[in-house]
Homo-oligomer: A and B are copies of this chain.
Amino acid sequence: MTQLDKSKESLHIGFGQINPTVGDFEGNYAKIISHIEQAEVQGVELLIFPELAVTGYPVLDLANKASFVAKSAQIVDRIALKTKNLKVMIVLGAVTKDGKTLRQRSFNTALVLHKGKIIHRQHKTLLPNYDVFLEEIFFEPSKKQRVFKVKGRKTGVGICEDLWEDDYGQKPLAGLARLGAKIMINISASPFHRNKGAFRAQLISRKAKQYGVYFLYSNQVGGQDELIFDGRCLIADAKGRILFQSEAFREGLYTFVLPLGSKAPLVKLNRAQAETQEIYEALVLGIRDYVRKNRFERVLLGLSGGLDSALSAVLATDAIGASNVLGVTMPGPYSSPGSREDSRRLAENLGIEFRERPIREIYDLKIRAIIEKKRQEHASVLEDAKITLAMENLQARLRALELMYISNDESRLLLTTGNKSELAMGYCTLYGDMSGGLCVLGDVYKTEVYRLAEYRNSISPVIPRESILKKPSAELRPDQTDQDSLPPYEVLDEILYWYIEKNKTAEEIEKLAELRPSSELIRQVIRKVDHNEYKRRQAAPVLRVTEKAWFGRRMPITNRFDIGGP
């Protein structure tokens, strides 16, 4: 952003689109200060950081640990002190405590700092309490709105959910408007999901127009456990036109000189990212931050020769670099020779370390022992020839044994590679392929896995064609394919989308699904999803990229309701 002429009729705005780490007060402080110093040099007049910039988001139960709240207040004071002699006015979020409240909970607060003083304080009014958000548990809501002045203009601040007032009885933005606010600021920690960016821009545009105000929207960037924040700070004018948008998924200081009162020049938005590219970049960020913020340097993952593990390996490589990724192929009794070859080729293409650890010998030993035991115990019920589910799971678990050994031995984080369609249907093995510290694709439907692979190969063809083209198979028995147990993925994923993300009944899905699955199939799928809750309850954290990922769902394990029933 070039340094434009600044009159009283313009406001030089900066967004500190930072990537804080939960609980890393010193690190977050350093980030904030460095952005403030940069902004001051550039002549920024109003610098806006995200919600809970000081503490990271979400803090969950930490919000009510006394030492955590004290540290948050202390950091705010240190920032104020540090900026005593600067011109820039700063908006940022922190956890605060404010006298006695009935429930003794903290506040999620926006603070405005200027010349070393806290000149304005606004607690969050609307506390989201659904899906992945449970802020009613952790925070006390604000009961009132107040305004302060920016360049003589009345300005109000809201925090994240306060923007989504249409869903609530209480309307914080309307409150600010009644107080005469001409500028509204919203500081957010609003996590990404598919199409969230466009949805949010639309809402901000609508709200700016509704109240006839400049709307300045700040959002954090980065990964925190399952959540991925996409940034994309925004400015809208009183006509609802988006004047500015910062980049997605990238930390930085983004500045814009807003011409107040005059006609604003319409700024071309950064190209809208294609949906698939957006998800790809989100996953890369999610992996990188989970690994780095948890102080791992290196990861490993099992390479089956299939597409899920191949894509996971590519994402991991893009996230933390080839030299930090290890791929392990573990051929078993029913692995195709192609699988091993495709894995090796992928590793070569990526330049990652590659090891081979066959599970065959131990599998044979165990199976022989099992059969021998059976022979001794119930000589008559012997079924050597049959490959049981227990034997299939045994193969998956022997692989986990190998991977977890390496993980422990070399301090490498194990990445889990199953996709959302599999997790939905329980087409995965507890303590087998479900093992790992982070599940990369657990919120990505199988059909989306194909799109992501094609997208990534369009940049450089790293994933072997064979891994994309071959029929998906767990290779746990001879000539097995996923479609022996599951409906075609296009059909399955459509049912899953309507059931999981849109909470539709079987009857509704029958009408909504474009691929016209049978009523019987829809019911089978729904039953499977519900029945497999117990597996997902023990799954690794899953990076969230859809509107409803697993940890935003809350279903009982013990549940006899046949939701697919009549």
Give A393's nearest chain B residue, CB to CB.
B408
In angstroms, how far is the closest chain B Cβ from the Cβ of A119? 28
Among listed A145-153, A266-274, A343-351, A397-405, interface-contacting one: A397-405
| A130 on the B face (CB < 8 A) | yes
| A262 on the B face (CB < 8 A) | no
List which A525-565 residues lie within 8 A (CB) of chain B. 534, 537-541, 553-563, 565
In angstroms, how far is the closest chain B Cβ from the Cβ of A428? 13
Q: How large is the interface on A (under 10, 10 to 19, 20 to 34, 35 or more residues)?
A: 35 or more
Residues of B within 8 A of A136 (CB): 129, 136
Give A294's nearest chain B residue, CB to CB.
B558
In angstroms, how far is the closest chain B Cβ from the Cβ of A320? 15
| A64 on the B face (CB < 8 A) | yes
| A388 on the B face (CB < 8 A) | yes
Digit string of A120-163 for contact with B (CB within 8 Å is 1, else 0)?
00000000011000101110000000000000000000000000
Residue pairs across A and B with Cβ atoms less than 8 A apart, 24 shown, are A22-B559, A24-B560, A25-B561, A27-B560, A60-B554, A61-B555, A62-B563, A66-B508, A71-B561, A102-B167, A102-B168, A129-B134, A134-B134, A137-B554, A224-B558, A225-B556, A289-B558, A404-B431, A431-B431, A431-B435, A437-B534, A537-B540, A538-B539, A538-B540
A residues contacting B by CB (< 8 A) are 21-25, 27, 58-62, 64-68, 71, 102-103, 129-130, 134, 136-138, 167-169, 224-225, 289-290, 293-294, 361-362, 365-366, 369-370, 388-390, 393-394, 397-398, 400-401, 404-405, 408-409, 430-431, 435, 437, 503, 505-506, 508, 534, 537-541, 553-563, 565
* Contact between A61 and B541, CB atoms less than 8 A apart: no
Q: A23-B559, A294-B557, A393-B404 are in contact. List 10 more A-B contacts (CB 8 A).
A: A24-B561, A61-B555, A67-B505, A103-B167, A129-B134, A293-B558, A362-B362, A390-B405, A397-B401, A431-B435
Q: How distant is the Cα of A370 from the Cα of B541 in the complex, in angstroms?
A: 29
* Contact between A560 and B23, CB atoms less than 8 A apart: yes
In angstroms, how far is the closest chain B Cβ from the Cβ of A196? 20
* Contact between B556 and A58, CB atoms less than 8 A apart: yes
* Contact between B505 and A66, CB atoms less than 8 A apart: yes
Of the listed residues A64, A168, A553, A557, the one surrounded by the most CB atoms of chain B closer than 10 A to its CB is A557
* Contact between B556 and A23, CB atoms less than 8 A apart: yes
* Contact between B294 and A62, CB atoms less than 8 A apart: no
